[in-house]
Structure 1
Amino acid sequence: MEAAWIALALSLKVAGWATLLNLVLGLGAGYALARWRFPGRELADAVLTLPMVLPPTVLGYYLLVVIGRRGWLGGWLYEHFGVQLIFTWQGAVLAAAIVSFPLVAKSARAAFEGVDPQLEKAGRVLGLGEWALFLRVTLPMAWRGVLAGLLLAFARALGEFGATLMVAGSIPGKTQTLSIAVYEAVQAGQDDTANLLVIIISITCVVVLLSAGRLARPRSAA
């Protein structure tokens, strides 16, 4: 029973950090795709959406190539700073963030594209700079869609399995997230533990999805 709550705490930690990471990266990518016009914009959007459609094991393999001890980034980090991401909870965060990133980026893009451009023009006429305009006009108008995307990304990160298992492994108390713990419990024939873990993660995800759905509704229907 104690192992189940440890796995839950680790899953919440990993999903929380992954969501915070996507708050910055997904928000920036969504805004850039919504507001900037540049050659290859839709190609960039397709590439950024790939983690949503690629098998998690493929994403895990890509991560191993990049951040593994022999990877170009992982090797450099280990050689110069002694940092190793493989088989760590930080590696699990990175895997969960990449898998859930498209949910934030796509939601943010749609939310920013839904902001009336006339309101932004009015802000510029009143003398607002681009950063002030974003914080005082654009983001307040788009926050519901952005937050809905973040909640969906949190739920996706909470249930991530394939990429996390390949990158972080299944070390109890260190990298064994809730979804991996379910797999291990089933493999070990521990049905009671598996049932408890499934109930916990199911309830958590339902609550998150209900919250995201409520935020995604038009204001008049909320």
Structure 2
Amino acid sequence: MDSLLNRFDITASDFFTPVGLSLQVAIIAMIIVFILGTATAYFMNKHDFPGKIVLETLFLLPIVLPPTVIGFILLMMFGSSSFIGTMIDWIFDRSIIFTWYAAILASSVVAFPLMYQAAKVGFAGVDKEVQEQAQVDGATNFQVFYKITLPLVATALISGGILSFARAIGEFGATLMIAGNIPGRTQTLPTAIYVEMQSGNYTLVWLWVASIVLISFIMLFLVRVMAKKS
């Protein structure tokens, strides 16, 4: 790999830094949305309340909103002039805007709907009679969830996690608006591709494009394999 990069006068750091940062951001975002998406979908599946449809529509809104709109909303919500941003500045003595954490935030927001929807479909497909019978036999709510519900929805949850990872690693618009494009700090693969394309460095761009296409293909391939087995 190093010899290939040297042939095109590209250092390993030039190539691997955005790749490594993108993988870190996507993995952390996937973990966040996996936990939040699963918990939220489980709660929404169990409870009916006024305004539920409105709330679920808000959860899914990032799927259809332009990433720049999401980025602008996040900037207004977490910027230094906002209440949340002020609280973050006071607690941590720094803003998260134009930091690595902002990239994770943007990726998590755009990936959440995929995880939520996959988990929701999984929980909706569980036979409630099986859960109720287990409770009649003396199982606690946690035991029912852990030993019955969770194994039944495992494939859906894993598929949702994989799709969330693929979406997070490809996030561009919202990330650029709230995390910026700081090499070595906030420059992920999509933003790096955009900048280098503007600079005319197509060799590096092609290497990055090939990397993200390969990663995304593997993720989607795994989802298809799991769907076929289930």
Q: Aligned partners of 2:217 and 2:229: how far apart in 1?
A: 20
> Could you say which residue in structure 2 is the equivalent of 1:126?
137
Where does 1:1-222 land on structure 2 (aligned, <5 Å)?
Answer: 1=10, 2-217=13-228, 219=230
Q: Aligned partners of 1:80 and 1:149: how far apart in 2?
A: 33
Q: Aligned-pair distance for 1:125?
A: 1.4
Larger Rg belongs to = 2
* SS across alignment from 1:175: coil
Q: Aligned-pair distance for 1:81?
A: 2.8
Q: Aligned partners of 2:83 and 2:179: how far apart in 1?
A: 18
Q: Aligned partners of 1:215 and 1:40: how far apart in 2?
A: 34
Q: Which contiguous aligned blocks of 4+ residues in structure 1 show a shift greater than 6 angstroms?
A: none
Equivalenced residue count is 219
- 1:101-133 per-position Cα deviation (integer Å, ceiling 9, x unaligned): 000000100000001112101210121111221
Contact kept? 1:185, 1:194, Cα under 8 Å: yes
Q: Aligned-pair distance for 1:79?
A: 2.4
TM-score when normalising by structure 1:
0.96
Q: Aligned-pair distance for 1:216?
A: 2.5
Contact kept? 1:108, 1:149, Cα under 8 Å: yes
TM-score when normalising by structure 2:
0.92
Q: Aligned-pair distance for 1:5?
A: 0.8
Q: Aligned partners of 2:221 and 2:172: how far apart in 1?
A: 22
Contact kept? 1:4, 1:178, Cα under 8 Å: no
* SS across alignment from 2:185: coil
Please, which moves more after superposition, 182-191 or 39-48?
A: 39-48
Q: Aligned partners of 2:85 and 2:224: how far apart in 1?
A: 38
- Distance change (3 Å), C-alpha of 1:33 and 1:216: farther
Q: Aligned partners of 1:111 and 1:216: how far apart in 2?
A: 12
Contact kept? 1:74, 1:84, Cα under 8 Å: yes
Q: Aligned partners of 2:93 and 2:152: how far apart in 1?
A: 44
Contact kept? 1:4, 1:193, Cα under 8 Å: yes
Q: Aligned-pair distance for 1:76?
A: 1.4
Please, which moves more after superposition, 201-210 or 41-50?
A: 41-50
Q: Percent identity?
A: 37
The residue type paired with residue 63 of structure 1 is: L
The residue type paired with residue 3 of structure 1 is: D
- 1:121-153 per-position Cα deviation (integer Å, ceiling 9, x unaligned): 121012111122111111110010111011001
